């Protein structure tokens, strides 16, 4: 209760993320149905004890597909965060520490960020094709410049401090200074931005699947389920309601978690 009072965003956001993660991880235990099994006799059934979230136009259990769709979203989001953090740290450290490299890299990233991130992700996914690996790389390429710019701004500020000059005076090499003295000062901001990148990746994956360039049928995806439900919303709104609710819940939880981590790691913000 004390933690909830001091950091409500952190507790609520963490609880929501943990809830979604538990449902996704234990999907095979929570549901006995197959996510892609077609049952024409059970099509468009309303939520009941047999199917707690109803069935879709092919008789597939919506609850099962939501669980496995959430699992795919979390898996893609986590992979995007890893690639975004690694590439963003590498580019940001080099750009912020070396002015000559900075002038080239930042101009490239400025041009890159001139395009809306979701448009860039859609374009890359359409060019490279479908599949989870393609989605991961397309979303990572679209969102990593933001991480790189954050790391760069911190490096520029930290490298001017006195302890960096002291490290140079002792003969420390640039790699040692970057990894031992500068990078640890970037960690809090990287953690906060990683949570926001996670939320953006989930939303981007849902958007790409909704547009038909993400995870392809019959594999379940939250965005694809919302897209498939458009023609059935007047008679079976549960087909699109539940996957849309899980998208909102996941993104909301990660954004609240990011806000809470920012307040916790940097109380002056």
pTM beyond 0.85: yes
Over residues 203-228, the mean pLDDT reads 86
Over residues 45-51, the mean pLDDT reads 88
Looking at the predicted structure, is the pLDDT value of residue 267 above 80? no
Residues in the chain, total: 269
**pLDDT (tens digit, 9 = 90+) per residue, 220-251?**
889 889 988 888 888 889 999 999 999 999 99
Domain boundaries, the chain: 69-251
**pLDDT (tens digit, 9 = 90+) per residue, 91-115?**
999 988 888 888 898 888 888 888 8
Q: How far apart are the first and last CA of the chain?
A: 23
Pick the CATH number of 69-251 from 3.40.50.300, 3.40.50.1820, 1.10.10.10, 1.10.3720.10: 1.10.3720.10
Using CB atoms within 10 Å of the CB of residue 241, give its burial: 0 to 12 exposed, 13 to 18 middle, 19+ buried: middle
| Cis peptide, bond prior to residue 155, ω within 30 of zero | no
pLDDT score at 3: 64
Looking at the predicted structure, is the pLDDT value of residue 269 above 50? no
Distance between CA atoms of residues 60 and 65, nearest Å: 8
- Taking the CB of residue 235, how many other CB atoms lie within 10 A of it? 10
Distance between CA atoms of residues 252 and 258, nearest Å: 10
**pLDDT (tens digit, 9 = 90+) per residue, 155-183?**
988 888 888 888 888 888 888 888 888 88
């Amino acid at each position: 209760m004390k933690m909830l009072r001091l950091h409500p965003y952190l507790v609520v956001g963490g609880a929501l993320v943990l809830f979604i993660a538990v449902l996704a991880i234990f999907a095979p235990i929570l549901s006995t149905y197959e996510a892609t099994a077609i049952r024409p006799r059970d099509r468009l059934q309303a939520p009941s004890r047999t199917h707690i979230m109803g069935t879709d136009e092919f008789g597939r259990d919506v609850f099962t597909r939501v669980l496995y769709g959430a699992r795919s979203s979390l898996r893609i989001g986590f992979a995007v965060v890893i690639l975004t953090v690694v590439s963003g740290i590498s580019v940001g450290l080099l750009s912020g520490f070396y002015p000559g490299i900075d002038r080239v890299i930042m101009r490239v990233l400025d041009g890159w960020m001139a395009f809306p991130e979701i448009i860039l992700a859609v374009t890359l996914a359409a060019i490279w094709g479908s599949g989870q690996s393609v989605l991961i790389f397309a979303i990572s390429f679209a969102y990593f410049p933001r991480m790189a710019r954050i790391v760069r701004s911190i490096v520029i500020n930290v490298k001017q401090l006195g302890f960096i000059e002291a490290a140079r005076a002792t003969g420390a090499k640039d790699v040692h200074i970057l990894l031992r003295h500068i990078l640890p000062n970037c960690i809090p901001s990287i953690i906060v931005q990683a949570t926001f990148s996670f939320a953006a990746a989930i939303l981007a994956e849902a958007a790409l699947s909704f547009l038909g360039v993400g995870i392809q049928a019959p594999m379940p995806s939250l965005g694809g389920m919302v897209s498939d439900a458009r023609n059935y919303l007047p008679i079976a709104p549960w087909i699109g309601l539940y996957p849309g609710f899980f998208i909102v819940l996941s993104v909301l939880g990660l954004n609240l978690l990011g806000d809470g981590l920012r307040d916790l790691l940097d109380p002056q913000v």
